[in-house]
C-alpha cells in the first residue's frame, strides 16, 4: 500500500472533533494516524445524489433522499415507546417521519427547519412515511455542501459506539484537509501511459466519488498501487538472487531421462512432457530454478519429480524430495526408488519414525554424498541434516508447508539449490501470480490416458444400504474402497461421525470383507502397515480420516464414501476424491450429509457437478475469498486492502509487467522519479523481510 508522506503520521486524536476517547474507539478499526483514514476504504456506497421533493417520492425498492420543511412535530407516548413524529411537507404532499425512543430528537429537529431524510418510503394514504430515516438539519439549505446527502455516499465498516455519520465526517475532513499533502509515488509518464488517475483524485473519489465512473477510475488506481508495490518487491528480490548464485547449472542427463521415461509402462502425457522439459531448461541455466508444477490430483506429478531428481543426480548433485506426511513420504520413497535404483541412483529415506541409529546412518550418508536422492518428511529440514552438494529440492504438496519450510530445504546445500514445488491444489491464476509472483509455473491440464470420470453423488441417509450393496458389488469385482470421516472420535453434540465408530460399523456390516482403519493417532508403524495392507489388497475397505487426503495412490481403489461431507471445504473434498479415479476403472464418490445450511448445500452441489480442479478452485475462491484458501498470512500473501483476487487479474498482470519494466530500467530505484517508490518499499519492508522472502 502506498502511504501518503509522513506529515500524515500525526495521531488522529488531534483532529478536530476526535479527542482521546473517540480515538480509542477508532483504534479498534485500525485508525491510528491521520494518514490511515486514506486507506480506510468504504465497504459500499449509497447513491443519494438525487434529492427529491416530497411530491417526487417514487416509493421505489431503494431508499430515497428527500428534502422538505418541518411542518409540525411531536412526541407521542405509547406503552413502552416514545415516538417522535415529524410532518414534512413541500406544500403539496406530506411525508411522515418517525423515530422510536430517541427523545433527544425533539431538541435537534425544530419547527420550520429544513430537513433532509434518507430512507425507504412507504405509502400512507395519499402521503408518504419513513420509519427511522437518516436525517440532517440543513443550516443554510446548502445541499451540495453536505457530506451525507446529495451525493454518492460512502458506507464504512463500523464498531460499537461509533456512528456512520461520525466516520464519514472524519473521512471528509481528513481528505479535504490533508489530501493536498499526499505525494503521488507513481512517475507521471507511467500514469499517462496506463491511463491511471493521480493519487489525490483516487483518494478523493474512493471516499467521496463524484460519479460511479470516477469511483471505478479511483479504485483502479488504488488496486494498481497495491499490486505494483508487491510486484516491485518481488522483482527486487529476484535481482538479489541473481547476485548471489553460484553456478549450479546442469548440463548432461537428458538421455537418462529418456531412458527413465521409456522404462515406464505408460507413455507420458503432454503436460508431463512439457513440465519435464521446462524443468530441464531451467536447471541448465545458471540461475536457481523456481518452478511450480501445478497438476490436478492424479495427473502424474511423481514421474515429473523422478525425472528432475534423476537429472540432478546425473549431473553429480544430490536431490531431495519432501512430502507433508509420513504415509506419503514412504509411498514416494517406495515408488521413486523403484524407478531410480535401476538407473543406478542411490536413494535414502528420512522420516520421524526412523530408529535413531538408522537416522544417523542416513544423515551421514547424506553428508558424504553417498545418497544421491533423499526422500522424506519435515525431518529433512531439521537443523542437523546436511547435504554434500544439493542440486535440487522438490517440495510435494507444497501448499501443506509454510513459507519458511519451503525455503529451508533448498538452503541445505552450499549454494542456492534449484527448487521445484508441486501442488495438486489448483490455484487460480491471480492467486498464483500473487502468491508465487516470482515463480514460473507449469500447468498439467491433461489426465493420463484411459482415466474414467468419477461419478459423484450426494446421497440421502435412506440410500445408505443401497450404496453399501453397490460398493460390495465393486469389491466383489476385485476393486477396493475408501471411507472417509471428518474426525477420529464422534461428537454426540454435533453427531459427527468418528472414524472409530464408523470402522466398527463397517467391520460389522461388511463382516465378509477385510476392513482396515487409518488415522493420525495411530503409531507410525501401524499407519504404514494399514497403508501397505491396503496397497497389497489385504484390506478391501479402508476407513480413514483425512490422512489419506494428500498424494496416496492406490489405483485399484475405485469407490469412496465421504461421511459428513459438509464438514469439508471444496478444495479438501476435491483432494479426497482424487484418491479414486486413478486407474482404468470407473470410479465413484458418494457424499453423505444431512446439512441444510445454504452455504453447505451450495458447496456440495457445486462439488457434485464439477470435476476439474481448476473449476473447483475458482468456485472456492468465489465462496471463501483468497485469504482463506491459502491461509493468507502464514503463507506470505500480501494483505490486500482494496484489490480483489477474484476480480482484478487484469490490473495485477499490468502491475507485474510494469514492475518488471521499471526494475529493468532502474534496479536500485535511484532515479529521481522513483524516489517515492523507494521510500515506500523501504518503509514497508525491512531488509530482513526482503531476504526471507515473500516466497521461498
Site for ligand ADP contains 298 (CB under 6 A): yes
Q: How far is CA 199 from CA 175, 208, 655, 659, in A?
A: 12, 14, 16, 18
Q: How far does Cα 507 stand from its chain's mean position? A: 40
Helix (H) or strand (E) holding 70: strand 64-78
Residue of 14, 59, 212, 266 that binds ligand ADP (CB under 6 A): 266
Q: How, if at all, do strands 541-544 and 515-518 pair?
A: parallel
Options 308, 417, 424, 483; binder of ligand ADP; rule CB under 6 A = 424
Residue whose CB is nearest to ligand ADP in the complex, by number: 300
582 binds, among Mg ion, ligand ADP, none (CB under 5 to 8 A by kind): ligand ADP
Q: Going residue by residue from 37 to 76, which x/- string records binding to ligand ADP, judged by CB under 6 A?
A: ----------------------------------------
CA dihedral 396, 401, 403, 405 (to 10 degrees): -80
Grid cell of 74 as nine digits: 411531536
Closest separation in Å from C-beta 349 to ligand ADP: 18
Dihedral in degrees, nearest 10, Cα atoms 413, 418, 419, 420: -130
H or E stretch including 66?
strand 64-78
Residue 297, binding choice from Mg ion, ligand ADP, none, Cβ under 5 to 8 Å by partner class = ligand ADP
Q: Quick one: CA dihedral 179, 181, 183, 184, positive or negative? A: positive
Nearer to ligand ADP, 490 or 581 (CB): 581
Does the footprint of ligand ADP cover residue 269 (CB under 6 A)? yes
Part of the chain binding ligand ADP (CB under 6 A), chosen from 85-93, 245-253, 290-298, 533-541: 290-298
Residue 551 or 693 having the CB closest to ligand ADP: 551
Which of 57, 116, 215, 303 touches ligand ADP by CB under 6 A? 303
Choose the one of Mg ion, ligand ADP, none that binds residue 298, judging by a C-beta under 5 to 8 angstroms depending on kind: ligand ADP
Compute how many residues bind Mg ion; rule: CB under 5 A: 2
Q: Which stretch binds ligand ADP (CB under 6 A): 509-517, 547-555, 560-568, 616-624?
A: 547-555
- The neighbouring-strand residues paired with 420 are 291, 394
User: What does the per-residue mask of binding to ligand ADP show for 639-658, with x meaning CB under 6 A?
Assistant: --------------------
Which helix (H) or strand (E) segment holds residue 65: the answer is strand 64-78
Bridge partners for 390 per DSSP: 318
299 binds, among ligand ADP, Mg ion, none (CB under 5 to 8 A by kind): ligand ADP
192-227 exposure pattern, b = at least 16 Cβ within 10 A, e = fewer: eeeebbebbbbbbbbbbbeeeebbebbbbbbbbbbb
CB of 346 to ligand ADP, least distance (A): 22
130-137 contact pairs (CB < 8 A, 24+): 130/66, 130/95, 130/96, 130/97, 130/98, 131/97, 131/98, 131/99, 132/98, 132/99, 132/100, 133/97, 134/164, 134/165, 135/97, 135/109, 137/108, 137/109, 137/110, 137/113
Rounded Cα gap, residues 3 and 382, in angstroms: 40
Neighbour count for residue 364 (Cβ, 10 Å): 12
If the CB atoms of residues 273 and 608 are measured against Mg ion, the closer one turns out to be 273
Least gap, CB of 469 to Mg ion (angstroms): 32
Q: Does residue 626 belong to the site contacting ligand ADP (CB under 6 A)?
A: no
Site for ligand ADP in 440-469 (CB under 6 A): 448-449
Nearer to ligand ADP, 445 or 505 (CB): 445
Q: Which is nearer to ligand ADP, 424 or 642 (CB)?
A: 424
490 within 8 A of 497, measured Cβ to Cβ: yes
Select from 399, 582, 603, 619 the one that contacts ligand ADP (CB under 6 A): 582
Q: Contacts with Mg ion in 239-268 (CB under 5 A)?
A: none
In whole angstroms, what is the distance from residue 649 CA to residue 281 CA? Answer: 28
Q: Which of 426, 551, 613, 638 contacts Mg ion by CB under 5 A?
A: 551
Q: Supply the minimum distance, in Å, between the C-beta of residue 492 and Mg ion.
A: 37
Q: Is 553 in the site for ligand ADP (CB under 6 A)?
A: yes
Only one of the segments 110-118, 169-177, 210-218, 292-300 lies at the binding site for ligand ADP (rule: CB under 6 A); that segment is 292-300
Nearer to ligand ADP, 129 or 302 (CB): 302
Q: Which of residues 279-338 bind Mg ion (CB under 5 A)?
A: 301
As a whole number of angstroms, the distance between CA 457 and CA 605 comes to: 9
Q: Give the alpha-carbon dihedral of 423, 426, 429, 433, to 10 degrees.
A: -30
| Shortest spacing between CB 674 and ligand ADP, in angstroms | 43
Binding piece for ligand ADP, criterion CB under 6 A, among 293-301, 379-387, 433-441, 505-513: 293-301
Secondary structure element (H or E) that encloses residue 25, with its range: helix 19-27
Q: How far apart are CA 191 and CA 273, in angstroms?
A: 42
Q: How far is the CB of 480 from ligand ADP (least distance, A)?
A: 14
Enumerate binding residues for Mg ion (CB under 5 A). 301, 551
Enumerate binding residues for ligand ADP (CB under 6 A). 266, 268-269, 272, 295, 297-303, 424, 448-449, 551, 553, 555, 582
Amino acid at each position: 500500500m502506498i502511504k501518503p508522506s509522513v506529515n500524515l503520521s500525526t495521531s488522529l486524536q488531534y483532529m478536530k472533533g476526535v479527542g482521546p476517547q473517540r480515538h480509542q474507539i477508532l483504534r479498534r478499526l485500525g485508525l491510528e494516524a491521520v494518514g490511515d483514514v486514506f486507506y480506510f476504504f468504504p465497504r459500499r456506497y449509497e447513491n443519494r445524489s438525487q434529492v427529491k421533493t416530497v411530491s417526487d417520492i417514487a416509493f421505489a425498492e431503494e431508499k430515497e433522499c428527500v428534502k422538505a420543511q418541518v411542518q409540525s412535530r411531536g412526541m407521542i407516548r405509547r406503552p413502552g415507546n416514545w415516538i417522535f413524529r415529524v410532518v414534512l411537507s413541500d406544500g403539496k404532499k406530506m411525508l411522515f417521519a418517525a423515530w422510536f425512543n430517541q427523545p433527544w430528537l425533539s431538541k435537534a429537529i425544530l419547527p420550520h427547519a429544513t430537513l433532509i431524510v434518507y430512507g425507504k418510503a412507504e405509502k400512507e394514504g395519499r402521503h408518504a412515511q419513513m420509519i427511522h430515516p437518516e436525517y440532517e438539519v440543513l443550516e443554510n439549505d446548502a445541499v451540495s455542501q453536505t457530506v451525507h446527502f446529495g451525493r454518492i455516499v460512502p458506507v464504512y465498516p463500523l464498531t460499537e459506539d461509533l456512528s456512520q455519520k461520525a466516520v464519514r465526517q472524519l473521512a471528509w475532513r481528513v481528505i479535504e484537509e490533508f489530501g493536498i499533502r499526499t505525494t503521488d509515488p507513481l512517475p507521471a509518464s507511467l500514469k499517462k501511459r496506463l491511463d491511471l488517475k493521480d493519487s489525490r483524485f483516487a483518494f478523493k473519489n474512493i471516499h467521496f466519488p463524484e460519479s460511479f465512473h470516477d469511483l471505478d477510475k479511483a479504485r483502479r488506481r488504488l488496486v494498481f498501487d497495491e499490486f505494483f508495490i508487491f510486484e516491485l518487491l518481488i522483482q527486487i528480490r529476484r535481482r538479489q538472487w541473481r547476485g548471489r548464485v553460484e553456478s549450479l547449472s546442469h548440463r548432461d542427463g537428458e538421455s537418462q531421462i529418456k531412458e527413465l521415461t521409456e522404462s515406464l509402462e505408460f507413455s507420458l502425457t503432454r503436460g508431463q512432457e512439457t513440465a519435464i522439459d521446462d524443468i530441464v531448461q531451467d536447471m541448465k541455466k545458471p540461475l536457481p530454478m523456481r518452478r511450480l508444477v501445478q497438476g490436478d490430483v492424479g495427473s502424474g506429478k511423481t514421474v515429473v519429480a523422478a525425472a528432475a531428481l534423476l537429472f540432478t543426480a546425473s549431473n553429480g548433485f544430490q536431490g531431495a524430495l519432501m512430502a507433508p506426511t509420513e504415509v506419503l513420504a514412504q509411498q514416494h520413497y517406495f515408488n521413486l526408488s523403484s524407478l531410480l535404483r535401476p538407473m543406478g541412483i542411490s536413494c535414502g529415506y528420512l522420516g520421524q519414525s526412523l530408529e535413531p541409529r538408522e537416522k544417523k546412518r542416513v544423515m551421514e550418508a547424506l553428508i558424504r554424498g553417498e545418497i544421491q536422492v533423499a526422500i522424506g518428511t519435515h525431518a529433512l529440514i531439521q537443523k542437523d541434516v546436511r547435504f554434500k552438494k544439493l542440486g535440487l529440492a522438490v517440495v510435494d504438496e507444497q501448499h501443506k508447508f509454510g513459507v519458511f519450510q519451503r525455503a529451508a530445504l533448498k538452503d541445505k546445500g552450499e549454494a542456492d539449490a534449484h527448487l521445484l514445488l508441486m501442488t495438486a491444489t489448483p490455484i487460480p491464476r491471480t492467486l498464483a501470480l500473487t502468491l508465487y509472483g516470482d515463480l514460473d509455473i507449469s500447468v498439467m491440464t491433461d489426465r493420463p490416458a484411459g482415466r474414467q470420470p468419477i461419478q459423484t453423488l450426494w446421497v440421502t441417509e435412506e440410500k445408505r444400504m443401497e450404496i453399501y450393496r453397490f460398493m460390495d458389488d465393486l469389491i466383489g469385482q476385485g476393486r477396493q474402497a475408501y471411507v472417509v470421516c471428518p474426525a477420529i472420535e464422534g461428537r454426540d453434540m454435533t453427531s459427527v461421525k468418528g472414524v472409530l465408530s464408523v470402522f466398527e460399523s463397517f467391520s460389522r456390516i461388511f463382516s465378509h470383507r477385510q476392513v482396515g482403519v487409518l488415522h493420525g493417532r495411530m503409531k507410525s508403524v501401524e499407519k504404514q502397515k494399514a497403508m501397505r495392507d491396503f496397497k497389497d489388497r489385504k484390506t478391501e475397505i479402508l476407513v480413514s480420516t483425512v490422512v489419506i487426503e494428500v498424494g496416496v495412490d492406490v489405483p485399484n481403489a475405485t469407490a469412496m464414501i465421504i461421511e459428513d461431507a459438509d464438514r469439508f471445504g471444496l478444495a479438501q473434498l476435491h483432494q479426497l476424491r482424487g484418491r479414486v479415479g486413478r486407474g482404468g476403472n470407473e470410479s465413484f464418490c458418494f457424499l453423505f450429509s444431512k446439512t441444510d445450511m445454504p452455504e453447505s448445500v451450495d458447496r456440495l452441489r457445486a462439488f457434485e457437478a464439477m470435476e476439474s480442479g481448476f473449476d473447483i478452485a475458482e468456485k472456492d475462491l468465489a465462496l471463501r475469498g483468497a485469504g482463506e484458501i491459502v491461509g493468507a498470512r502464514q503463507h506470505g500473501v500480501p494483505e490486500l486492502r482494496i484489490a480483489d483476487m477474484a476480480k482484478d487479474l487484469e490490473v495485477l498482470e499490468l502491475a507485474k509487467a510494469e514492475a518488471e519494466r521499471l526494475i529493468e530500467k532502474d534496479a536500485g530505484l535511484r532515479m529521481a522519479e522513483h524516489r517515492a517508490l523507494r521510500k515506500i518499499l523501504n518503509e514497508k519492508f525491512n531488509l530482513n523481510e526482503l531476504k526471507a522472502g515473500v516466497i521461498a
